[in-house]
Chains A and B, each alone.
Chain A
Amino acid sequence: MKIWGIIREAFTFSDLSRGERIGLALLLGAIAVFPWVVKDGFARTVAVQFLYYAMLGLSWNFIGGYGGQIDLGGAKNVGFGAYGVALPMVLWDWPFWLGLPIGVAFAVLESLVLGLGLLRLRGHYFAIGTLAVALVWEELFVYSEWTRGARGLLLPFKRAPDYLYMQLTPVGFHYFIAALFVFSLLWLNWFRRSKLGYQLRAIREDEDAAASLGINVLAAKVKAYCISSVVAALGGAFYAVYYGFIDPDSVMHLDLSIMIAMTALVGGAGVLWGPIVGAAVLIPLDRYLGAWFGGGGILGMDFLIYAVIIMLLAAYQPKGVAGLIEALVLWRLKATGRSTAGLRAVGGR
C-alpha cells in the first residue's frame, strides 16, 4: 500500500547523524513533558509560540529551504487559515473543524494560482512578488468590511475545553500545537527524501540542469509552494483559536512573513531541523527582550533591515546555525587529520 510507504518514510530518520537523532528525540521528549514540569504561565506562552513559529518555519522550508525560492509572503497563508476558522465561527457559529478545511483550501488554491504566475520568475523576483502579493492581501483584509477590517474578529466564547470549537486549556493548547508541529515535521521529513524533494533540491541548484533531466520545474515548485501553504494555514487556524482574536495585524502582517523566513534562515534553510533551531533562538530572544524592554522586541525593527538580512543569509549562509555547526564538524575532522570527503550534510541529505 502506497499510504503505508509514505507513513513509514515520514517516520524514518535513519539518514540523520546520531547526534541529530538524539537531539530530535530530546526535543520531542521535552515538548511532551513540558506542561507538567513548567507551571509558569509566561514560559508556557513562550513554549507555544516557539512551536508555532517552528511550524511556520518548517512550512517555509518546503519552498524556501529545499526549493531555494525565497518566499517573503508566508503570512498570507497563516491569515487564510486563521480567517477560514474565525470568520465562519463569528458569522455562523461554525465549529473549528468546519472552518479549518475552508481556510486550508483557500490557501492552497490561492497559492496554486499565484505560484503558476510567480514561480516562473527567477531569483529575487519571486521574493519581491510574494512580498507584494502578501501586502495586497493584508490591505484587502484591512479595508474589507466583510472581514471586519482592522477591528479584527473576536471569537465567540465557549467554556473550555470545547473540542468542537477548539477552545482549550493552556495545557490543551500546548498539545494541540505540539501535534501540529510534529505533523509538519513528519511531512517535511517525508518530503525531503521523496522524489519531489530531490527535484526541488535540483531546482535550487540549477534550473536549467533540472529541466534537462526531465523535471517540470514550474510544476515541482508549485507543488512545494502549495504544501508550504497548507502547513502555514494550519498554523493560522491554531492561532485563531489560541488567541481568540485575530486581525490583519496579527496574522497577515509583513512582520510575520519576515519572521517566518528568518526562522528558517537563521536556523538553517533546507535543513530538516533548521527552523526549529531558528525558532528556539529567535522566539525567546524576541519575547523576553520584548518583555524586558517593553517594546516590540526584535520584531519592532524596521522590516527593511530584516529583508536585507534575509537576502544576505539566503545568498551567503542559507544553512544558518546548521551551517555553522557543519563547518565546525568539518574543521574538527580536518584538525584531527581525517578525511572530510563527502561529509558536508547536516539534516540528512
Chain B
Amino acid sequence: MALLNAQGVTKRFGGLLANDSVDLAVEEGQIVGLIGPNGAGKTTFFNCLSGHLVPDAGTIIFNGRDITRWPAHRVAQAGIARTFQLVKSMGGLTVEENVMIGAFARVDDREEARRKARQVLELVGLLDVADMYPGELPLAVQKQMELARALATEPKLLMLDEVAAGLSPEEIEGFAGLLRKIHREKGLAMLVIEHVMEFVLPLSERVYVLAGGRKIAEGTPDEITNHPAVIEAYLGEGYARAHKR
C-alpha cells in the first residue's frame, strides 16, 4: 500500500476550482515530482495535504490513516514535513533555533533538540552558520535551513514547494545533490513541486502534471517529457527538443 494516497482532492476558492479531483500516490521511499504551470493548483494541493487547508472533497490516506481533515500540526506529527514556496524562515530565531523547533516535534528536552538540530545541520552542511540569523543569509541557504527544519521533525514524507525557485543554476545543482544525498541516507519519500524541469525530472521516479487544477498526466519522467498534452500545456517545444537531442 502506498505511503500517501490522495484521491479526488478538490478545493474551491469562491468560483475558482483550484484543485479538481486530484489523485496522487507516493510509495515509501519514492521521489515524486509534481509539475505544472503557474496557477495550476500545486501549492493548494500541498496545503490540502499538509493540513493548512481543508479540502472540499476527497480523501487523503497517509501511512494507513485517514488524515483528510487533520490540522497541520497533527499532520506534521504523523510524519509529513513541508517547506513553503515563499520561505518562512523565522527571522527572530537563529538557524540552529529554527531547526530546533523542528526537532521539538519529537523531543521535549532542549539540549536533546539542540543535538538533533546540529546533526541535521551537519547533514545539509549548515553547521558553520548555526548561530546566524536567517536574514543574514542568502536565499539558497535559507531554503536549506527550511529543509533542515523539516527534516528535524523526522518525517516519512518530505514535501518541497518550489525549492529551486529564485536560485542560480549552480545553487540548483547543489540542491539536487543535497536532496539525493538525503534520500540516500534517510530513504524517505519526497514529493517535489517544481517549476524548473531540469531540476525535478532527473530526480523523480514518477511525475504528476497539474494544469488548471486538474491532473492531466502522470508517468515516468521520460513518459512525461514526450506526453503531447504536457508539451502543449506546459513544457513548450524548447524543452522537449532539448531532451530529445
User: Are A and B subunits of one complex?
Assistant: yes
- Chain A positions within 8 Å of B, measured between CB atoms, are 193-195, 198-199, 201-202, 204-206, 208-217, 270, 341-342, 344, 349
Q: Assess the A202–B110 pair: CB atoms within 8 A.
A: no
A344 smallest CB distance to B (angstroms): 6
CA distance A342 to B97 in the complex (A): 12
Residues on the A chain within 8 Å of B50, using CB: 212
Q: Assess the B93–A202 pair: CB atoms within 8 A.
A: yes
Instruction: Please pick, from A193, A206, A212, A341, the residue contacting B72 in the complex, using a CB distance under 8 A.
Output: A212
Interface residues in B, total, Cβ within 8 A? 34
Binds A, one of B2-10, B75-83, B198-206: B75-83
Q: Assess the B84–A208 pair: CB atoms within 8 A.
A: yes
Cβ-Cβ contact count across A and B, 8 Å cutoff: 88
B114 smallest CB distance to A (angstroms): 10
Beta-carbon nearest neighbor of A343 in chain B: B131
State whether A198 and B73 are in contact (beta carbons under 8 Å apart), knowing that A205-B91, A205-B92 are contacts in the complex: no
CA distance A213 to B52 in the complex (A): 12
CA distance A7 to B238 in the complex (A): 66
Instruction: Please tell me if B136 contacts chain A, counting CB pairs below 8 Å.
Output: yes
Residues on the B chain within 8 Å of A270, using CB: 92
Max chain A Cβ within 10 angstroms of own Cβ: one of B50, B51, B88? B88
State whether A214 and B52 are in contact (beta carbons under 8 Å apart), knowing that A209-B90, A342-B131, A349-B94 are contacts in the complex: no
Residues on the A chain within 8 Å of B82, using CB: 212
A123 smallest CB distance to B (angstroms): 16
State whether A198 and B94 are in contact (beta carbons under 8 Å apart), knowing that A208-B52, A212-B50 are contacts in the complex: no
Instruction: Please tell me if B234 contacts chain A, counting CB pairs below 8 Å.
Output: no
CA distance A205 to B71 in the complex (A): 19
Instruction: Please tell me if B163 contacts chain A, counting CB pairs below 8 Å.
Output: no
Nearest first, the 5 A-B pairs at minimum CB distance are A214-B105, A205-B90, A211-B72, A214-B76, A342-B131
State whether A342 and B133 are in contact (beta carbons under 8 Å apart), knowing that A198-B104, A212-B81, A214-B153 are contacts in the complex: yes
Residues on the B chain within 8 Å of A212, using CB: 50, 52, 72, 76, 81-82, 84, 88, 150
Q: Assess the A211–B136 pair: CB atoms within 8 A.
A: no
B40 smallest CB distance to A (angstroms): 21
Residues on the B chain within 8 Å of A206, using CB: 88, 90
